[in-house]
Structure 1
């Protein structure tokens, strides 16, 4: 066991977005004490391609240069083969709906993706490296001051003790502060991170995807169609990737300079930026 893995273990839940990248910079500058960052990859076919590009082009090389261990975790089956979230959703004959699709009632469905592809991967790594209920790991979560309400949404596991370095900073840091810290370190500021088909995205995010990445938007529409074709065969109500209770290609037009009717402060945007998606 290396020195940085000796108890007490300290690791950051790294989402690949602004807040967790700010924590990476703060750790490199020795302003916070974390030598390990854990990125639970739900699948190269599932994560936003921009997030994976940023991770491999900027975050990983930067971490390596600074002597920080940025670990990419993947879900594997018992036979050792890899499993991805998109693969589970599209597997022939699958009835699984692990993402929080919108039901016909407007309510979000079950969100088992977080537990299966994030929480368990991070937890397994922590326990393999010495975290227990008696000696829990300290896990840094990148929640900034402008989203402090999300702190209470996080349920700690017995083997971990969550801390919030951006809130503990003097003064507490907002998202815009995080962006400035990243830029000052010479890194590009990352975009929001989430699965490209995540139903927790704001409609505005899908609208921007339709404008800027039409091929990816078309794939999201195709996935929604596939899920509903299966549900129709089972005699079940349709499900949606937005709250508008109709197909994505009808519900979300391509983004313009301004998006009338879309609330850009909507709390539904529970992306993985800060680790709250999976912790």
Structure 2
């Protein structure tokens, strides 16, 4: 490892963690969970430059609600470059998800906003969508390819790459299944921040990647909602329609933090941290970027 590591990266706990995951990963094929955003584009660049090993499979979960900008960047930029190098992003279909909009007890999987205390206070529900729509879908797809527990599968255990960068160490979360060893190449192998990822993409001559997210994600900033409405009207229309569907079941849920329907929301031009290309605060470690 190079001397550019941060103080956090040099702590005893993290060094021990790196050793543990490195030992467990020896000899296992790599399956990269491609998230479609900045970190994923940077990993693609590093693989193409030979600075990261070639993964055996590259898999992206189709949430059925991924923003059109993400698919456009994959189709027009990343996929052609990977195909030229003999690689390809495979898409795990949303049919592999066992839950869609709601849990078995009828609660929304998305972290929607709710009106509480007689409508005076706005709260937010927990986030379960990334696990149900991404992590579990990719896992089931990988299992269908023959990977799995030692002695009980054709291809055996795997190393699963996740695109979390060095400045997101707090999002690290391993898989509870022993046949999957989670690894973060932008933390352990080629320590890189999100800003560094953007530099890598620019060095490759690629355009700036969009922030990977669903068009209905309640974590969107006002700037991101405006960008969706003005630049991707079909996605915006789908978000409005989905919110209306959710509100038919519960009139106190909303996709916007103000606790009003999207069509009526006033997007703050000066909202802090609200750049159209900024991060969404998903802390699950599974909204793979």
1:149 to 147, 164, 170: 170
CA distance in 2, matches of 1:71, 1:59: 12
1:204-230 Cα distance to aligned partner (Å, 9 max, x none): 311332343345334323322232123
2:281: which partner in 1?
269
Structure 2: where are the runs of 5+ without partners?
1-26, 117-121
1:27: which partner in 2?
47
**Contact in 1 for aligned 2:98/2:132 (Cα 8 Å):** no
**Contact in 1 for aligned 2:112/2:124 (Cα 8 Å):** yes
2:207 to 171, 183, 188: 188
1:33-53 Cα distance to aligned partner (Å, 9 max, x none): 13221101112xx11011111
**Could you state the TM-score of these two structures normalised by the residue count of structure 1?**
0.76
1:70 to 89, 103, 111: 89
1:221 to 228, 237, 240: 240
**Contact in 2 for aligned 1:126/1:137 (Cα 8 Å):** no
Q: How many residues align?
A: 248
CA distance in 2, matches of 1:120, 1:84: 9
Structure 1: where are the runs of 5+ without partners?
1-6, 78-82, 233-237
| SS at 1:263 equivalent | coil
1:1-279, aligned counterparts within 5 Å?
Answer: 8-35=28-55, 36-43=57-64, 46-76=65-95, 88-89=100-101, 97-105=108-116, 106-127=122-143, 128-132=145-149, 136-151=157-172, 154-158=173-177, 159-169=179-189, 172-232=191-251, 238-253=252-267, 259-264=269-274, 268-270=280-282, 276-277=286-287
| SS at 1:62 equivalent | helix
**Contact in 2 for aligned 1:221/1:249 (Cα 8 Å):** yes
**Contact in 2 for aligned 1:103/1:109 (Cα 8 Å):** yes
1:112-149 Cα distance to aligned partner (Å, 9 max, x none): 43233212221123333323278531111111123222
The 3 A distance-change label for structure 1 pair 97 and 214 is same
**Contact in 1 for aligned 2:36/2:212 (Cα 8 Å):** yes
